[in-house]
Amino acid sequence: MSGDTTRRDMLGQVVRGTVLAGMGGAALFLTKKADGQMVWQVNASKCINSRLDAADAEVCTLCTTECVIALSAVRAVNEYSKCGRCSICPAYFDVTSAVGDDGLPSQKLCPRDAIERKPIGKIDPEDPANNFYEYIIDEVKCDGCGRCVLKCKEPLGLGSIVLKVRYNKCVDCNRCAISIACPKDAISQVIKTEGLESSLASHTD
């Protein structure tokens, strides 16, 4: 075998190795992308209803009216770890309504009665401010109108309720109809991760 032939063989092996390594990297990248499927999601820091400085804004109902799914694939989600379990929740009660004999606002905020108020532990009638409640959103009733989301803000609320695209409802349109209409560019495609999915799954009914 001549010196030239040997060099050509070695060069060929190096090139083949480089190409194969490149293909391996691309395959790995594609595998990662396939694992982390792209999904439409609400960016809470941009959404009019979800952003923390928006308590006085006008509610935006485009997530309800624009989605191609009945009621909408966007629903309100209470992130329980952030919820203050307040006695008078501004997302549950219409805090501008008249106060009843029980000392509570007489009307609820949700137009679809989709939020359940459940006492935690023993209720002390003498000390209402020291009673705590769990606020559970019924996703079958919720249409993602965002009213409760907008009102769960400081100083009365803690911003624990946000709007989320629910993956078990979304049909993953090529171009999300809400994203086209959203005035804040708050709906975009993100990589679906296991953490995101499980954190959402903990709020399903």
In the bound state with ligand SF4, the residue whose beta carbon lies nearer, of 87 and 170, is 170
Omega before 128 within 30 of 0, i.e. cis: no
Applying CB under 6 A, among 67, 77, 162, 200 the residue interacting with ligand SF4 is: 67
Give yes or no for residue 159 binding ligand SF4 (CB under 6 A).
no
Identify residues 93-112 at the interface with ligand SF4 (CB under 6 A): 110, 112
Cβ count within 10 A of residue 129: 10
71 touching ligand SF4, by CB under 6 A: no
Task: Give SS3 for 22.
Answer: helix
Q: Sign of the C-alpha dihedral, residues 120, 124, 125, 129?
A: negative
Which H or E element spans position 5?
Answer: helix 3-35
Q: Which of 54, 83, 86, 115 binds ligand SF4 (CB under 6 A)?
A: 115
Closest Cα partner for 152 from 71, 62, 47, 69?
Answer: 47
Binding site for ligand SF4 (CB under 6 A): 40, 42, 47-49, 60, 62-63, 67-69, 73-74, 76, 110, 112, 114-115, 137, 142-149, 163, 165, 170-173, 176-178, 182, 184, 186-187
